[in-house]
A and B are shown apart, each in its own frame.
Chain A
Amino acid sequence: MTVAETEKKPLPAPSKVQQKVQQSLARRQRQEKLFRGVGISAVACSLLLVALLFINIFSKGLPAFWQATITLDIYFDPAIVKIPEQPVQGAEESDNDFRERDLAWRSAVGMVNYNRLIQAGLEKVIPDALQHRRDLARIVTSGERFALRDLVIADPTLVGQTKTLHLLTDANIDVWLKGNIDRSLPDAQQQLSAKVREWVDQLAAEGVIQNRFSFALFMNPDSRSSLASAGLAGAFMGSLYMMLVVILLAVPMGVAAAIYLEEFAPKNKLTDLVEVNINNLAAVPSIVFGLLGAAVFIGWFNLPMSAPVVGGLVLSLMTLPTVIIATRSTLKAIPPSIRQAALGLGASKMQAIFHHVLPLAIPGILTGAIIGVAQALGETAPLLLIGMKSFVASVPAGPFEQSTALPVQIYLWQGNELRNFFEARTSAAIIVLLALMLSLNALAIWLRKKYEKRW
Chain B
Amino acid sequence: MKMSKLHTVVVAAAVSISLQAVAQSTRDTIQIAGSSSVLPFSSVAAEEFGNNFAQFKTPVVGSGGSSGGLRQFCQGVGTNTIDIANSSRPMRPGEVEACKANGVNSIIEVKIGYDGIVFASRIDAGDFALKPEHVFLAQAAQVPQNGKMVANPYTNWRQIDASLPDQNILLAIPGSNHGTREVYEEKVVVPGCQELPEVKAMSKDDQGKFCVAMRTDGRVVEIAGDYTETLARLQAQRDAIGVFGLTFYENNRDRIKVATVSGVVPTVDTVLSGQYPVARPLFFYVKGAHIGVIPGLQEFAEFFVADATSGFGSPLEAVGLIPLSDDEREQILQQIRSKQSL
Contact = CB atoms under 8 A, between A and B. Distances in A.
Contacts of B51: 110, 146
A106 B19 contact: no
Point out which of B23, B58, B247 has the most chain A C-beta atoms below 10 A from its C-beta. B23
Contacts of A298: 80
Given A302-B79, A394-B57, A419 B251 contact: yes
A302 B20 contact: yes
A142 interface: yes
A249 to B, nearest CB: 10
Interface in A95-154: 103, 106-107, 110, 142, 146
A191 B253 contact: yes
Contacts of A309: 19
A304 B80 contact: yes
A417 B31 contact: no
Contacts of B23: 301-304, 400
B85 interface: no
Contacts, number: 122
B52 A110 contact: yes
A433 to B, nearest CB: 19
B133 to A, nearest CB: 28
B312 interface: no
B179 to A, nearest CB: 17
Contacts of B227: 417
B43 interface: yes
A393 interface: yes
Interface stretch (A3-11, A319-327, A383-391, A442-450): A383-391
Contact of A103 (B55, B79, B82, B247): B55
A225 interface: yes
A1 interface: no
Q: Chain B, interface size: which category?
A: 35 or more
B50 interface: yes
A391 B319 CA distance: 16
A305 interface: yes
Contacts of B254: 181-182, 185, 189-191, 420
Contacts of A37: none
Contacts of A142: 315, 318
A306 B60 contact: yes
B24 interface: yes
Interface string B228-269: 100100000000000000011001111101000000000000
A390 B34 CA distance: 10
Contact of A387 (B20, B33, B251): B33
Given A391-B62, A402-B31, A301 B16 contact: yes
B194 to A, nearest CB: 33
Given A301-B20, A390-B33, A393-B43, A225 B315 contact: yes
12 contacts: A107-B53, A142-B315, A191-B253, A224-B40, A225-B43, A389-B63, A390-B62, A391-B61, A417-B40, A417-B227, A417-B252, A419-B255
Interface of A: 103, 106-107, 110, 142, 146, 181-182, 185, 188-191, 223-226, 298-299, 301-306, 309, 387, 389-394, 400-402, 414-420
Q: Which are the 3 A-B pairs with shortest beta-carbon distances?
A: A390-B62, A224-B43, A225-B44
